[in-house]
Amino acid sequence: MTEPAADLAALAAELTARLGADAVYTDPEKLRTYECDGLTAYRVVPALVVLPSSAEDVRFVVRRCAAYGVPFVARGSGTGLSGGALPHAEGVLIVLSRLTRLVEIDLANQRAVVEPGVINLNVSRATLPDGYYYAPDPSSQQVCSIGGNVAENSGGAHCLKYGFTANHVTGLDVVLPDGELVGLGGKAVERPGYDLVGAFVGSEGTLGVTTGVTVRLLRSPEAVQTLLAGFAHTDDAGAAVSAIIAAGIVPAAVEMMDALAIEAAEAAVRCGYPAGAGAVLIVELDGPAAEVEAGFARVRQICADAGAFELRVAADDVERGLIWRGRKSAFAAVGRISPDYYVQDGVIPRTALPEVLREIGEIAERNGVRVANVFHAGDGNLHPLVLFDATQPGQTERAEEVAGAILDACIAHGGSITGEHGVGSDKKHHMPRMFSATDLDVMQLLRCAFDPEHLCNPGKVFPTPRLCGEAPGPRRGVHPLVAQGRAEMF
Amino acid sequence: MRSVAELAEAVRSAPGPFVVRGGGSKQDWGGAPDGSAYLDVADLREIVDHAAGDLVVTAQAGVRLADLQAALAGAGQWLALDPPEAGATLGGIVATAATGPRRLLYGGPRDLLIGTTFVLADGTVARAGGKVVKNVAGYDLCKLFCGSYGTLAVLAELTFRLHPLPEAGAVVVVETPTPADVGRAVAGALHSQAVASAIDYADGRVTVLIEGVEAGVGARAASMAEAIGGEIAGTVPEGFGSRPWGEGEVGIKVAAEVAAVPQVLEALRAAGATRVSGPAGVGVLYAALAAVDDVPPLREAIAGHDGSVVVLHASEEDRRRVDPWGPVAGLALMRRVKERFDPQRRLAPGRFVGGI
Whether complex ipTM tops 0.90 = yes
Q: % helix / strand / coil in chain B, to the nearest 5?
A: 35, 25, 40
List C-alpha distances in Å: B328 to A177, A193, B306.
20, 7, 11
- pLDDT value of position A476: 53
Residues 132-151 of B with CB under 8 A from A: 132-141, 143-144, 146-148
Nearest alpha carbon to residue A239 among A377, A34, A74 = A377
CB contact under 8 A, A167 and B164: no
Q: Is B74 on the interface with A (CB under 8 A)?
A: no
Nearest alpha carbon to residue B20 among B118, B141, B166, B105 = B118
- pLDDT value of position A1: 47
Q: Is B290 helix (H, G, I), strand (E, B) or coil?
A: coil
Distance from CA of A463 to the nearest CA of B (A): 11
Q: Is A295 on the interface with B (CB under 8 A)?
A: yes
Helix (H) or strand (E) holding A286: strand A279-287
- Contact, A273 vs A262, CB < 8 A? yes
Rg (CA), chain A: 23
Nearest alpha carbon to residue B95 among B79, B116, B80, B66 = B116
CB contact under 8 A, A194 and B147: yes
| Alpha-carbon B167 to chain mean position | 25
- pLDDT value of position A475: 55
Which ranges of chain A have pLDDT less than 50? Answer: 1, 486-490
Report the chain B residue with the minimal C-alpha distance to residue A415: B132
Q: Which chain B residues are Cβ-neighbours of A449 within 8 angstroms?
A: 333, 336-337, 339-340
Domain span(s) for CATH 3.30.70.2740 in chain B = 250-321
Which phi and psi angles does A424 have, rounded to 5°?
A: 55, -135
Nearest alpha carbon to residue B61 among B27, B20, B33, B26 = B20
- Contact, B342 vs B147, CB < 8 A? no
Minimum-distance CB partner of B140 among A155, A199, A248:
A199
CATH class held by domain B4-164: alpha beta
Residue type for position B223: S
> Number of helices and strands (H, E) in chain A?
17, 19
Q: Which chain B residues are Cβ-neighbours of A380 within 8 angstroms?
A: 54, 132-134
Q: Which of B133, B142, B261 has the highest number of chain A CBs within 10 A, making it the mutation to test binding with A?
A: B133
How many Cα atoms occupy the beta-carbon half-sphere of A204 within 13 Å? 30
Helix axes B214-228, B179-191, angle to 10 degrees: 140
Distance from CA of A393 to the nearest CA of B (A): 32
CB contact under 8 A, A288 and B195: yes
List C-alpha distances in Å: B116 to A420, B58, B277.
20, 9, 32
Which ranges of chain B have pLDDT less than 70? Answer: none
Q: Which chain A residues are Cβ-neighbours of B280 within 8 angstroms?
A: none
Residues 188-227 of A with CB under 8 A from B: 188-196, 198-199, 201-203, 219-222
- Contact, A101 vs A44, CB < 8 A? no
Minimum-distance CB partner of A192 among B120, B193, B325:
B325
CB contact under 8 A, B334 and A448: no
- pLDDT value of position A139: 87
Residues 225-244 of B with CB under 8 A from A: none
Indicate the pTM of the whole model. 0.96
Note the pLDDT tens digit of each residue in A439-471.
999 999 999 999 999 999 999 999 987 778 766
Beta strands A223-231; A181-185: pairing state: unpaired
> What's the burial of B194, exposed, middle or buried (CB within 10 Å: 0-12/13-18/19+)?
buried
Note the pLDDT tens digit of each residue in A118-145.
999 999 999 999 999 999 999 899 999 9
Instruction: Report the alpha-carbon distance of residue B300 to residue B267 in Å, rounded.
Output: 10
Domain span(s) for CATH 3.30.465.10 in chain B = 4-164
Question: Would you tell me which CATH number, out of the four given (3.30.1330.10, 3.30.70.2740, 3.40.1030.10, 3.40.50.10240), belongs to the domain B250-321?
Answer: 3.30.70.2740
CB contact under 8 A, B216 and A431: no
Q: % helix / strand / coil in chain A, to the nearest 5?
A: 40, 20, 40
| Alpha-carbon A67 to chain mean position | 31
List C-alpha distances in Å: A288 to A295, B162, B173.
11, 22, 19
Helix axes B261-270, B295-302, angle to 10 degrees: 150
Distance from CA of A41 to the nearest CA of B (A): 20
CB contact under 8 A, A442 and B134: no
Report the chain B residue with the minimal C-alpha distance to residue A444: B139
Residue type for position B224: M
